[in-house]
Amino acid sequence: MALTEISLIRRIFLLMLAGVISLLVIVGLTLWLTERVNDHSDEVVRARNTRMLAATLLSLVQDMESGQRGYLLTHDRRYLEPYEKAKPQVDETLGRLKDMIRDDPDGTAEAARLAAAINDKIAELSQTVALADSGDTAGALAVVNADRGRDLMENVRGQINVIGQRSDARVRDRLAAMQQSTRYLTFVSVFASLLIILVAATAIWTTSRYTRELVQARREVESANASLEARVAERTADLTRANEEIQRFAYIVSHDLRAPLVNIVGFTSEMEAGLAALQRAFSANDNQTPDPMLLEEAREVTTTDLPEAIGFIRASTTKMDRLINAILKLSREGRRELRSERVDLAPLLATAAASVQHQLDERGARIELGDRFPVIHSDRLALEQVFGNLVDNAVKYLSADRPGHIRITAKEDLSGVTIEVADNGRGIAPNDHERIFELFRRAGTQDVAGEGIGLAHVRALVRRLGGDITVDSELGKGSRFKVRLPRYSRHVYTE
């Protein structure tokens, strides 16, 4: 069905209306999600301050106890200085702690129990100091030797640990909620971008269709009215003008629909960067009255440095995507249920060696397998991944200035088996022996492609199988990876 001018305008109007409504909805959602992130940030700061105050209380009580012990042993009142200095600070710190968690009924109860425990401990300390002041040193030492003070101190530590664990749990929960809100914000931004692109594409397709129909109509007119040159010329001129107007209209519509898309992307980036500045301002002021200088700094970052920051943020998106994909891959592997079966390591390692034979031939290197390999009960797929990674790494990092040699051997004892993958390659510096097993960490010259997840994945798999992996290496002299595995893995499900 051909499009009329009225139907075209109606469709374009509806598309623009849909774009504006979508923009308003997305902006509202973005503001709401940002407010949620700010609330979670405040809770994280409050929880961390609570833990800091609890740790401060423990330190103060320990200072008092140290001063008491020193005084009882030496009768020198100089040793009471920590005791006397810390005593008034305890009440002040307790008050700040209670004020920090006054809106949390459970936290208030925990703070009350902590206050009672600290008061009991201070009473015990005060009793011994008073006895010593009166000359009854034996009585004071008798109180100390009764171990009541130790029990009271353990009670204080226990209550502080409860508050600390609760604060840590709140931090984890709020950080998880912040990450979820950030993911929602990203989803909303992507959805908004796709929606506006769809609206723009539909508008362009509609106007293009209308333009094609006009061109077709012009051709039909030229064909049907070939004898009427004047009329055809007039009609052609009219159609040309109409076509130019439609093209200009399509450009304006496309530009106006693209502008919200650019604004949405920029607005979302500004909100994310602004969030970081606000978090620094709140964290630096320890939840007290905001410092105008810090607020001004955050405002300056948001208004002045954002254009440059946006470029860096967008440039890092690709890298973040690769890392996230790598993490998801590791996560999927980590969720796979391991199944125990009888595994003869000899053919398994021979297969791993054969898979890199063509690379060895290209490098003029060789791989050597030991005489005997044991049979264990473990997850076959996990073992294939472990030794496949180790052999592949050994090949990739062979030294170019000497013939490559890789040797795989096994040793058995009563507690399990140890498989060694040794090479005469580049080697690893001592300070990188642990680093290479960390996720996204690599050592040495970065001239081989990789994301730094292979050895981290290997260690995770080996430990899931109930074993461990270590490395002995010297830079320039090769490496020896030792995989320790149990004969019967208790960590693997047996069918």
pLDDT at 324: 58
Cα(55)–Cα(51) distance, integer angstroms: 6
Instruction: Tell whether the model's pLDDT for residue 422 goes beyond 90.
Output: yes
Instruction: Out of 312-326, 371-385, 437-451, pick the least confident.
Output: 312-326
pLDDT at 197: 82
Instruction: Tell whether the model's pLDDT for residue 242 goes beyond 60.
Output: no
> How many other C-beta atoms lie within 10 A of the C-beta of residue 279?
18
Buried b (16+ CB within 10 A) or exposed e, 15-53: bbebbeebbeebbebbeebbebbbebbebbbbbbbbbbb
pLDDT at 423: 93
Instruction: Note whether 391 and 352 are within 8 A (CB).
Output: yes
Highest mean pLDDT (candidates 60-69, 176-185, 213-222):
60-69
Instruction: Tell whether the model's pLDDT for residue 205 goes beyond 70.
Output: yes
pLDDT by residue (tens digit) across 306-338? 555 454 445 445 545 555 566 666 667 667 788
Q: How is domain 339-494 classified at the CATH fold level? A: Heat Shock Protein 90 (3.30.565)
Choose between 98 and 323: higher pLDDT. 98
pLDDT by residue (tens digit) across 111-126? 778 778 888 888 888 8
Handedness of CA 280, 283, 286, 290 (dihedral sign): positive
Mean pLDDT of the chain: 76
pLDDT at 354: 92
Average pLDDT over residues 286-295: 61
Torsion (CA) 121, 127, 129, 134 in degrees, nearest 10 = 180
Average pLDDT over residues 149-170: 80
pLDDT at 348: 94
Instruction: Tell whether the model's pLDDT for residue 494 goes beyond 70.
Output: no
pLDDT at 272: 64
Cα(99)–Cα(50) distance, integer angstroms: 10
Choose between 257 and 60: higher pLDDT. 60
pLDDT at 246: 44
Average pLDDT over residues 409-415: 90
pLDDT at 390: 94
Give the tokens for residue 228. 């009427």
Q: How confident is the model at residue 384 (pLDDT cuts 50, 70, 90)?
A: very high
Q: Hey, what long-range contacts does 31-34 have (CB within 8 A, 24 or more apart)?
A: 33/181, 33/184, 33/185, 33/188, 34/185, 34/271, 34/275
Instruction: Out of 92-106, 128-142, 298-312, 348-362, pick the least confident.
Output: 298-312
Instruction: Tell whether the model's pLDDT for residue 261 goes beyond 90.
Output: no
